[in-house]
């Protein structure tokens, strides 16, 4: 089981700063990895944490790479709790995603290949798609073909309660 799922920027961020030192600080802040860690109670349960501390000898920069913080009792502080999921929750999400992959694969093999991109905050992924010229999706004409993220916070809470409730 992985100990984290982190997303790193692949392009250099544009920053505004008065001098080079401030620009470097802004750039490092923009490049901080985002994502989740898998742990049950505290940072000691994250495999590789101590190894990471050994690799980063200058502990001043440790939180740039390992942005979780403990309270004195060894549990996560409130900010860090938002970035951690239990191993059971990770397994629950993994099983759900794999089921979605299987369903999508079965639909494709059954011939269901409708182009119906998901609308994310008013933008479409079509701008990045290599096949946009072939599917001819037009936002005005094909509005009913667009999917939206219909998952509410209540839906997520209900999904996660399946793990919490046993």
Per-residue pLDDT of 90-130, as tens digits, reads: 899 999 999 999 999 999 999 987 777 777 776 777 777 88
Q: Is the pTM of this model over 0.75?
A: no
Q: Please tell me the predicted confidence (pLDDT) of residue 51.
A: 45
What number is the average pLDDT over the span 38-52? 55
Task: Return mean pLDDT, the chain.
Answer: 76
Q: Which two tokens stand for residue 62?
A: 């440790």
Question: Who contacts 93 (Cβ-Cβ below 8 Å, separation ≥6)?
Answer: 85
Neighbour tally for 38: CB within 10 Å: 20
Q: Which two tokens stand for residue 28?
A: 């490092």
Q: Please tell me the predicted confidence (pLDDT) of residue 105.
A: 94
In the predicted model, is pLDDT for residue 44 greater than 60? Answer: no
35 bridge partner residues: 6
Please tell me the least confidently modeled range out of 14-18, 52-56, 119-123, 161-165: 52-56
The DSSP line for 118-154 is EEBTTB-GGGG-TTHHHH---TTT-GGG-EE----HH
What number is the average pLDDT over the span 39-45? 59
Q: Please tell me the predicted confidence (pLDDT) of residue 8.
A: 76
What number is the average pLDDT over the span 42-67? 53
Domain ranges across the chain: 4-84, 114-166
> What is the C-alpha separation between 80 and 62, in angstroms, rounded?
14
CA of 91: how far to CAs of 40, 105, 159, in Å? 12, 21, 13
């Amino acid at each position: 089981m992985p100990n984290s799922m982190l997303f790193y920027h692949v392009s250099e961020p544009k920053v505004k700063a008065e001098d080079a030192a401030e620009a470097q600080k802004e750039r490092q802040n923009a490049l901080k990895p985002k994502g989740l860690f898998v742990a049950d109670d505290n940072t000691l349960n994250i495999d590789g944490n101590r190894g990471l501390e050994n690799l980063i000898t200058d502990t001043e920069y440790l939180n740039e790479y390992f942005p979780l913080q403990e309270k004195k009792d060894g549990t996560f502080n409130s900010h860090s709790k938002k970035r951690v999921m239990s191993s059971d929750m990770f397994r629950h999400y993994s099983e759900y995603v794999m089921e979605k992959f299987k369903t999508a694969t079965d639909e494709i093999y059954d011939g269901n290949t409708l182009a119906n991109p998901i609308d994310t905050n008013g933008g479409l992924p079509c701008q990045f798609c290599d096949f946009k010229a072939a599917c001819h999706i037009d936002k005005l004409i094909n509005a009913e073909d667009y999917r939206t993220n219909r998952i509410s916070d209540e839906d997520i809470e209900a999904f996660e309660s399946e793990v919490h409730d046993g």
